[in-house]
Amino acid sequence: MATDKQTPPQQQESGSESISSVLSEKRKFPPPTEFSNAAHISSMEDYEKLYAEAAKDPEAYWAGIAEQFHWEKPWEKVLDWQPPYAKWFPGATTNICYNAVDRHVNSWRKNKAAVIWEGEEGDQRVLTYAELHRQVSKFANVLKIAGVKPGDRVAIYMGMVPELVIAVLACARVGAVHNVIFAGFAAHAITERVNDSKAKLIICADGTRRRGSTINLKNIVDEAIVNTPSVRSVIVLKVTGEEVNMHDGMDHWWHDLMGLAMDHNEPEFVDAEHPLFILYTSGSTGKPKGILHTTGGYMVHAANSFKYVFDIKDEDIYWCTADVGWITGHSYLVYGPLLNGATLMMYEGAPNYPQWDRFWDIINRHKITILYTAPTAIRAFIRAGDEWVTKHDLSSLRLLGTVGEPINPKAWMWYHTVVGQEKCPIVDTWWQTETGGILVSPLPGATPTKPGTATRPLPGIMVDVVRKDGEPCKSNEGGYLVIKKPWPSMLRTIYGDNKRYEETYWSEFKDMYFTGDGARKDEDGYIWIMGRVDDVVNVSGHRLGTSEVESALVAHEAVAEAAVVSRPDDLKGNALIAFVTLKDEYQGDMKLREDLRNHVSREIGPIAKPDEIRWAQGLPKTRSGKIMRRLLRELASSKEIKGDVTTLEDSGVLEQLREQEEED
Ligand code: PRX
């Protein structure tokens, strides 16, 4: 892919209120003074100073942070770097569960709420740090009774109930390697993951609730483990009371085992590089990759990034809406908050159940102060209408976060004005399953934000945007996002496949980690993610980020959601095909196709004008809400859909798009 033909960003006509394309975004929002005054890092000067210090001596910087945790044995050195293999804090031993739970039980926080949970039907539970400690210790004893030893892999397949957090922490406590499998995955995905990791034990629930009905998870596990020779037993938590088959010798009820277990459990202090978890990345490209994270370095960065990016205070009630089945749930629902002794909200259920105001109702009732969610959810809320939000009192909110995909400036502005009432900074956090924690993000008390950019790297993180030959790009030139120095929470390998690890992340550029994302760095050093590099297209010799065209499309009042892909074109190299979901009131408007093409042309430039616009009732998405552009690319090229579609959330969407193609 060429990287050297990037045109400079197009300038917008000044004064135009409809400006919303990433390429031309110029709005800047300094942190509110009141927020800055009380923040951990309260000015750009402080950030720059810290960044420069960390860049000068990264090892000293990370060691300074690591000292704030409990280590049973100190490290011999901070980093042992044999590219591309890193060992952080070698020689040290620790236990992340001890640091996330026991440390707080030994402090004034023992009676502080650790987890506030709400179920879809409105049922609620609160676990203090002391109660969490008791439950985790007991379940750690259960794991030991079940024969789980340090290093053994344990698969977890449950809905978003507190026991999911308990199971994760108990695995860490005994030194077992957890592999959480998102409860939306089907049997085949479980089999694949369990076999790849050779898990000995599966912890599951009988069922989970979703939009008023229940899903029988245990039946799915039964189907999955027909072909998983490594599994010796299954522990089943009763949540919904589904009828389940319990197989003698194999299946055990959680409550029976907990009834037998003692309260006291000594944590297993493990090597800093002891594996903590494997998390498989979405299978949208081939066989899922088992991303391996280890203990010490992950702990240090998950905790520290959480503290500064979310500016966490003891009074906060923090809510991350991600499922624990994804990395966001690992780092910023479980580990980051608990390592900081924070109070976290956890919700099991759909955002639109019973109605589209469920999130806002939760925020009002629980007085949530920090909300961390995804652009895909934000777009759905925009579509549902402002009235669902504005009828609730959201004055408790002080900070908003987003993660997972580029946020269109239009969605950012909506989040800022309608949800944040123009008083909450927004942290647009860029990171990946592989990075373990946030790498690029505003610090909310310091960084002036611009809609659509994750801004600057965190202290200790050296990122850059480079050309194909590894040379740094000029300001605003599109290129590849790389990480130039190892960081503590980096993946250590792809489980069982060092070769794939080396090839995927370390072969493109010498001694630099390749993120797979296209990006540009603007005149303020802010990073603008242009999407995965396979979503960056070359049209008539000009590179375009498809997300930028999407931003322009959704800036149009008729558009609810849009995805843009490319199709080979004889004349231009690539043609752009836009799949567009219209807001209800605009459905059937025949002249919109041309209006939208012209609109994009106006927003970015004629080069970005989609060659074709197709109407979509919905877009094909993975269960984590990512648009499956690969499928759209295949549809756009009128090719047969090949490869894996099992991660698709709603297969009806694909049918509708196929039919649409025939009608067109
Ligand atoms: O393309 C980037 C996008 O999501 C990818 C990582 O996906 P995953 O491993 O599933 O982790 C998602 C949660 C951390 C990245 O390579 N991405 C993530 N955050 C952002 C983003 N793109 C733009 N802006 C973000 N804030």
Give the number of the atom of ligand 1 that is nearest the alpha carbon of residue 441.
Answer: 26
* Per-residue pLDDT at 573: 65
**Residues in the ligand 1 pocket, defined by CB under 6 Å:** 281, 327-328, 403-406, 428-433, 454, 515-517, 529, 532
**What are the residue ranges in the chain where pLDDT is below 50?**
1-22, 283-286
Give the number of the atom of ligand 1 that is nearest the alpha carbon of residue 433.
Answer: 9
Could you tell me the distance, in angstroms and rounded to a whole number, from the CA of residue 577 to the centre of ligand 1?
Answer: 23
Query: Residue 84: which residues within 8 A CB-CB, separation 6 or more?
Result: 501, 502, 505, 506, 511, 513
Counting ligand 1 atoms within 8 A of each CB, the residue from 430, 455, 504, 513 with the most, and so the one to mutate, is 430
* 429 marked ligand binding residue: yes
* Per-residue pLDDT at 620: 87
Judge contact between 7 and 21, C-beta under 8 A: no
Q: Whose CA is nearest to atom 6 of ligand 1?
A: 432
Looking at the DSSP bridge assignments, the partners of residue 270 are 94
Integer Rg of the chain from CA: 24
pTM assigned to the model: 0.84
Counting ligand 1 atoms within 8 A of each CB, the residue from 320, 505, 517 with the most, and so the one to mutate, is 517
pLDDT digits (tens, 9 = 90+) for 497-516: 999 999 989 999 988 999 98
Residue-wise over 322-352: b if at least 16 C-beta within 10 A, else e?
A: bbbbbbbbbbbbbbbbbbbbbbbbbbbbebb
Could you tell me the distance, in angstroms and rounded to a whole number, from the CA of residue 403 to the centre of ligand 1?
Answer: 6
Give the number of the atom of ligand 1 that is nearest the alpha carbon of residue 282.
Answer: 10
- Total residue count of the chain as it appears in this document: 664
* 213 marked ligand binding residue: yes
Backbone phi and psi for residue 453, each to the nearest 5 degrees, phi listed first: -125, 140
Give the number of the atom of ligand 1 that is nearest the alpha carbon of residue 454.
Answer: 26
Judge contact between 341 and 202, C-beta under 8 A: no
What is the residue type of 463?
Answer: V
Could you tell me the distance, in angstroms and rounded to a whole number, from the CA of residue 432 to the centre of ligand 1?
Answer: 5
Could you tell me the distance, in angstroms and rounded to a whole number, from the CA of residue 473 to the centre of ligand 1?
Answer: 21
* Per-residue pLDDT at 86: 98
Q: Whose CA is nearest to atom 22 of ligand 1?
A: 405
CATH class name, domain 540-660: alpha beta
- Map out the domains of the chain as residue ranges: 33-529, 540-660
DSSP-derived 3-state class of residue 651: coil
Q: Which fold has domain 33-529?
A: Rossmann fold (3.40.50)
Say how far apart CA 606 and CA 611 lie, in whole Å. Answer: 11
Q: Whose CA is nearest to atom 11 of ligand 1?
A: 432
Say how far apart CA 150 and CA 275 lie, in whole Å. Answer: 9
Say how far apart CA 650 and CA 653 lie, in whole Å. Answer: 6
* Per-residue pLDDT at 254: 98
* Long-range contact set of residues 105-108: C-beta below 8 Å, sequence gap at least 24: 105/129, 105/130, 105/133, 107/341
Q: Whose CA is nearest to atom 2 of ligand 1?
A: 405
3-class SS string, 114-163: EEEEEECCCCEEEEEHHHHHHHHHHHHHHHHHCCCCCCCEEEEECCCCHH
* 623 marked ligand binding residue: no
Q: Which residue has the tokens 């300001």?
A: 475
* Per-residue pLDDT at 408: 84
Q: Whose CA is nearest to atom 3 of ligand 1?
A: 405
Could you tell me the distance, in angstroms and rounded to a whole number, from the CA of residue 534 to the centre of ligand 1?
Answer: 14
Judge contact between 616 and 636, C-beta under 8 A: no
* Long-range contact set of residues 17-21: C-beta below 8 Å, sequence gap at least 24: 18/555, 18/603, 19/409, 19/555, 19/603, 20/408, 20/409, 20/410, 20/413, 20/451, 20/551, 20/552, 20/554, 20/555, 20/603, 21/409, 21/548, 21/551, 21/552, 21/555, 21/603, 21/604
* 431 marked ligand binding residue: yes
Say how far apart CA 212 and CA 82 lie, in whole Å. Answer: 52
Torsion angle of the four alpha carbons 44, 48, 51, 57, in this order, in degrees rounded to the nearest 10: -150
625: left (phi over 0), alpha (psi -120 to 50) or beta: left
* Burial (Cβ within 10 Å: 0-12, 13-18, ≥19) of residue 658: exposed
